[in-house]
């Protein structure tokens, strides 16, 4: 290389570093590709940087992905002629950000020797293993021990991590000089750590990745590193983060938006519940009654508006592998898998395969849930002075009241264009894509009107539009497995407004019993008779419950109402908060993830909050639940 060319390259590197440092001083995001191979990504001003240098002599497959999960990382080539530029860049970042925080943490990560890894057949049983390299000092000892503890909490395939601390002046890969000299680090008040990782995420014989192992390790390691950065920030810098998740990534790269949009387009291309809802429910009931309940009805369904094969092709064309953030990747992969199963169910309507898909998506009925349902049917009177009986509202009158509820949402959220539509091709009141659908022949008891409104509008419509207010479309179309929590929350709304009657609870219990009978092989008529004769449901209700369970070929979804309210009661009894559940359509298991994303400022607060949470008696009813109110006691607890 000529002296003139070397001088030009040095000047170009200096300009790049100067530009980066100016942006960091201004607290702007930096995301730059590096010459030869590599990238610098710094979300905002942060007191740490994760570094990975790809070795020259091996591909080191997958290791670079272990740093890209962080909000501040650098990966680069370990080529000798890149060393000076990489070191100069690191020094510029450390000096700039160290001046902002009063201290800085530099962590270099690399993969260890594969010599003692098990063979490819036994790798799935291998334990995650780490070696931490750090210079021994009084200041650093306690911090390193906490880092060791965080790493030791990692489990992969139920195997706990093995963590060793090596007190050494060397904190870089064995074949490479430190990216920042110790003397320079001390001058800039920069603490240095090295982390060697046993590469159980790839085949030791062929170097091929084990993508699931790598994905799981990335998620676990991210949490451990984030806790370490949090501990460092609070103990050694002027920054006092309120939670370790606040040090996670805030910037969302284009790949995430692309995947989110493509999954939402697939989800929005069909309405699952409408597709599996019979269009001839009313006429089927009349014919069933005319034949004295001896001949099972035949249900008809809407034609599929989409080709399942084309949908699946589009579903798996989503570039999930480009998503760096492990939390968002987890949510998006879950949704992709669920959509795959639902599309298969649509193709299997009215075939024996449909029920198997339903069990995968919505689950079945275990003995414990069946026992609770049976107890409700036995102990709650089949015929009583029920406030849900008496005067009834027709579809038009109910729709007028629902419009008033929607108008209150629109005043708080002008973008909300939810509407009420009266239709004759649905079985019952339901929400579809943020609007309320009311059956044309609906008759709703006056004592149940408020409960139904808060179930449908105060919960389903509200969470849909709260989800629309967030940057991720999955929060309005629904995260994977959201249905049980969503329906449990909606039933809980009925309790909070004092409208969860004996009759309603018995219906929810009957759905569970009917679902279990269907799974166990009972026919439509056998299940109808069990509800009618054994459990004393009136015949129209027994028919509706049985139809809902047998539609499509066997739909287990109706068991989630009772399962959802039971799990919600346990969640609240354990100190769980209600407000996070209204951010969008999610499962209880997603609450910690939603909180993480809010800490990271990826998600914002929900713009809409149910009015019933601020109503009279709500606090008292919530207190009763937190004290251990059971589902059997809910109908009593609603009447204060």
- For the segment 276-300, the average pLDDT, to the nearest whole number, is 95
CA dist 350 to 213, 262, 277, 354, 359, Å? 38, 29, 12, 7, 15
State yes or no: pLDDT of 640 exceeds 50. Answer: no
E-only strand ranges, 400-450? 420-423, 430-432, 435-439, 443-445
DSSP H or E run through 150: helix 138-152
What are the beta bridge partners of residue 480? none
Report how far residue 260's alpha carbon sits from residue 273's, in angstroms, rounded to the nearest whole number: 22
Report how far residue 71's alpha carbon sits from residue 29's, in angstroms, rounded to the nearest whole number: 10
State yes or no: pLDDT of 612 exceeds 80. Answer: yes
pLDDT digits (tens, 9 = 90+) for 322-343: 999 999 999 999 999 999 999 9
Report how far residue 15's alpha carbon sits from residue 578's, in angstroms, rounded to the nearest whole number: 51
Report how far residue 428's alpha carbon sits from residue 431's, in angstroms, rounded to the nearest whole number: 10
State yes or no: pLDDT of 120 exceeds 70. Answer: no
State yes or no: pLDDT of 117 exceeds 60. Answer: no
Unique residue bearing structure tokens 């334990």: 127
Is the model more confident about 506 or about 638?
506
DSSP H or E run through 394: strand 392-394
With the CA atoms of 140, 144, 145 and 151 taken in that order, what torsion angle do they form, in degrees rounded to the nearest 10? 170
Q: In terms of Cα–Cα distance, which of 395, 480, 413, 403 is closest to 435?
A: 403
pLDDT score recorded for residue 125: 64
Report how far residue 59's alpha carbon sits from residue 218's, in angstroms, rounded to the nearest whole number: 19
Q: In terms of Cα–Cα distance, which of 440, 443, 435 is closest to 405?
A: 435
Quick one: pLDDT band at residue 383, thresholds 50, 70, 90?
Answer: confident
What value does the mean pLDDT of the chain take? Answer: 92
Cβ partners under 8 Å of residue 291, min gap 6: none
What is the bridge-based pairing of β-strands 72-77 and 190-197? unpaired
CA dist 327 to 280, 504, 595, Å? 43, 38, 12
Could you tell me what percent of the chain has a pLDDT over 90?
A: 84
Q: How many CB atoms lie within 10 A of CB 372?
A: 18
State yes or no: pLDDT of 71 exceeds 60. Answer: yes
- For the segment 560-574, the average pLDDT, to the nearest whole number, is 97
* CA 138 from centroid of its chain's CA atoms: 41
The DSSP annotation for 182-213 comes to: HHHHHHTTEEEEEEEE--TTB-TTT--B-HHH
For residue 241, which phi and psi values (nearest 5 degrees)? -60, 145
Quick one: pLDDT band at residue 374, thresholds 50, 70, 90?
Answer: very high
Quick one: pLDDT band at residue 450, thresholds 50, 70, 90?
Answer: very high
State yes or no: pLDDT of 172 exceeds 70. Answer: yes
> Both tokens of residue 638?
């609603």
Quick one: pLDDT band at residue 616, thresholds 50, 70, 90?
Answer: confident
pLDDT digits (tens, 9 = 90+) for 425-446: 887 899 999 999 999 999 999 9
What does the DSSP 8-state code read for residue 121? T
SS3 for 545-596 is: HHHHHHHHHCCHHHHHHHHHHHHHHHHHHCCCCCHHHHCCCCCHHHHHHHHH
State yes or no: pLDDT of 138 exceeds 80. Answer: no
State yes or no: pLDDT of 5 exceeds 70. Answer: no
State yes or no: pLDDT of 423 exceeds 70. Answer: yes
State yes or no: pLDDT of 421 exceeds 70. Answer: yes
State yes or no: pLDDT of 560 exceeds 50. Answer: yes
Cα angle 324, 105, 134; round to 5 = 105
Report how far residue 484's alpha carbon sits from residue 364's, in angstroms, rounded to the nearest whole number: 12
Ordered by where they begin, the domains of the chain are 3-251 (3.40.50), 387-500+575-622 (no CATH)
Report how far residue 84's alpha carbon sits from residue 89's, in angstroms, rounded to the nearest whole number: 9
pLDDT digits (tens, 9 = 90+) for 29-55: 999 998 888 999 999 999 999 999 999
> Please, what is the end-to-end C-alpha distance for the chain in angstroms?
86
């Amino acid at each position: 290389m000529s002296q003139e060319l070397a001088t030009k390259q040095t000047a170009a590197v200096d300009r790049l570093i100067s530009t980066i440092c100016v942006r960091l001083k201004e607290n702007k995001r930096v995301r730059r590709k590096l010459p030869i191979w590599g990238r610098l990504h710094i979300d905002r001003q942060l007191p740490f940087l994760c570094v990975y240098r790809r070795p020259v002599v091996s591909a080191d497959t997958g290791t670079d992905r272990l740093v890209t999960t962080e909000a501040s990382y650098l990966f680069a080539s370990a080529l000798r002629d890149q060393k000076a530029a990489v070191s100069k860049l690191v020094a510029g970042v450390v000096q700039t950000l160290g001046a902002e925080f009063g201290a800085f943490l530099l962590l270099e990560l690399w993969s260890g020797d594969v010599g003692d890894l098990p063979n490819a057949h036994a790798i799935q049983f291998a334990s995650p293993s780490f070696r931490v390299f750090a210079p021994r000092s009084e200041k650093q000892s306690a911090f390193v021990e906490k880092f060791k503890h965080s790493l030791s909490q990692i489990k992969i395939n139920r195997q706990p991590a093995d963590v060793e601390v090596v007190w050494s002046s060397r904190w870089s890969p064995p074949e490479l000089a430190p990216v920042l000299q110790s003397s320079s680090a001390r001058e800039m008040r920069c603490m240095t750590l090295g982390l060697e990782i046993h590469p159980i995420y790839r085949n030791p014989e062929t170097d091929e990745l084990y993508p699931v192992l790598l994905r799981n390790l990335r998620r676990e390691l991210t949490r451990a590193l984030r806790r370490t950065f949090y501990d460092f920030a609070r103990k050694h810098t002027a920054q006092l983060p309120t939670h370790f998740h606040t040090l996670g990534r805030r910037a969302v790269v284009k790949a995430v938006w692309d995947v989110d949009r493509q999954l939402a387009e697939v989800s929005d291309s069909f309405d699952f519940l409408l597709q599996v809802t019979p269009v001839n429910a009313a006429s089927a009931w009349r014919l069933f009654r005319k034949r004295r309940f001896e001949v099972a009805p035949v249900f008809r369904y809407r034609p599929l508006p989409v080709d399942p094969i084309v949908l699946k092709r589009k579903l798996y064309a989503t570039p999930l592998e480009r998503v760096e953030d492990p939390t968002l990747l987890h949510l998006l992969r879950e949704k992709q898998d669920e959509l795959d199963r639902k599309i298969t169910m649509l193709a299997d309507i009215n075939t024996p395969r449909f029920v198997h898909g339903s069990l995968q998506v919505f689950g079945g009925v275990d003995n414990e849930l069946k026992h609770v349902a049976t107890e409700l049917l036995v102990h709650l009177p089949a015929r009583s002075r029920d406030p849900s009986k008496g005067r009834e509202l027709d579809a038009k009158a109910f729709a007028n009241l629902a419009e008033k509820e929607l108008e209150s949402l629109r005043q708080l959220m002008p973008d909300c264009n939810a509407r009420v539509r009266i239709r004759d091709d649905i079985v019952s009141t339901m929400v579809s894509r943020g609007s309320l659908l009311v059956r044309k022949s609906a008759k709703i008891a006056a004592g149940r009107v408020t409960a139904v409104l808060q179930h449908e509008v105060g919960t389903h419509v509200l969470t849909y539009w709260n989800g629309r207010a967030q940057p991720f479309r999955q929060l309005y179309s629904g995260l994977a497995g959201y249905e049980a929590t969503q329906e449990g929350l909606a039933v809980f709304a009925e309790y909070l407004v004092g409208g969860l009657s004996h009759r309603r609870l018995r219906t929810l219990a009957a759905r569970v019993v009917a679902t279990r009978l269907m799974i166990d092989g009972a026919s439509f008529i056998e299940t109808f008779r069990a509800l009618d004769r054994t459990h004393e449901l009136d015949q129209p209700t027994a028919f509706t419950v049985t139809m809902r369970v047998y539609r499509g070929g066997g739909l287990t979804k109706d068991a989630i109402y009772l399962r959802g309210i039971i799990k919600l009661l346990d969640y609240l009894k354990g100190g769980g908060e209600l407000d996070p559940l209204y951010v969008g359509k999610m499962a209880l298991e997603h609450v910690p993830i939603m909180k993480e994303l809010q800490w990271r400022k990826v998600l914002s607060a929900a713009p809409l909050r149910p009015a019933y949470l601020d109503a009279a008696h709500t606090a008292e009813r919530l207190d009763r639940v937190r004290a251990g109110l059971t589902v059997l006691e809910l109908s009593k607890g609603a009447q204060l």
